[in-house]
Amino acid sequence: MNKQKLAFKFGFAAVLFTSLLSTSIRVNAGPQPTTIIDSGDSSSSAGDNFSSAASGRPPRVPPGLRGKVKITTNPDGTVTITLTPEAQAKLNQEIATMRTNPRIIAGRQITRGVRVEKTPIFRMMTTDGTEEAAKIEVARGFQEAGLSSEIIDDVASKILALLVADNGDINRINAAIDLYNKIVLDSKLSVLRALAQDDNFKELRERLVALRNSTR
């Protein structure tokens, strides 16, 4: 199975948030490197984005979000996404829920890993004063998995303070999903195998999934 299958059909820039959880991929060490499963595997795509600059195709809205978003194509080829008041309110509620329940994502309790009240990913997304220490902790695992320091810094910048504003920024969330998907598509299978075992990478995907799904 090729890398494109790892991210389902998402072609960067074509669509925001399509079929994120309908199929996911687990990277195995056996002769067939990937297997399709029905669970939230962190080695699968975190959804599509709207950035038309990468593919040259005009952005389109997936069925689940039609009537809920407005897409404006800028002169430089990038796009700006605007949610309807209803979809924005749902996103804001999900962000508020995440902030007040650090170990609950989309109604599910985080049970893996060390049972701390606030995980490193949560601390980075909420900038609770310990985000720099959290970044070091997250970076250590990502580095051991094989990600470059440049990509790690990019991840940190994309998710830092993502849950701080009461009015969630769908464009920042979209950029974070874009980067997550790029990591899945561009990384070697050995890197994906390691990332699939990393609790912080798993949580990052789960939070992006929950934020994406809240707008539906």
More confident residue, 38 or 78: 78
Q: What 3-state class would DSSP assign to 185?
A: helix
Contact 213, 86 (CB under 8 A): no
Tokens 């999903």: give the residue. Answer: 177
Residue 176 is predicted with a pLDDT of 92
| pLDDT tier for residue 112 given thresholds of 50, 70 and 90 | low
Distances (CA, A) of 59 to 71, 100, 143, 168, 173: 8, 34, 33, 21, 17
Q: Per-residue confidence at 34, pLDDT binned at 50, 70, 90?
A: very low
Taking the C-alpha atoms of residue 178 and residue 14, their distance in angstroms, rounded to an integer, is 11
Three-class SS state of 177? helix
Task: Tell me the average pLDDT across 152-180.
Answer: 93
When pLDDT is averaged across residues 106-111 and rounded to a whole number, the result is 77
Question: Token pair of 135, please?
Answer: 């970044």
Q: Each residue of 115-154: pLDDT tens digit?
A: 567 899 999 999 989 999 999 999 999 999 999 999 999 9
Global pTM reads 0.75
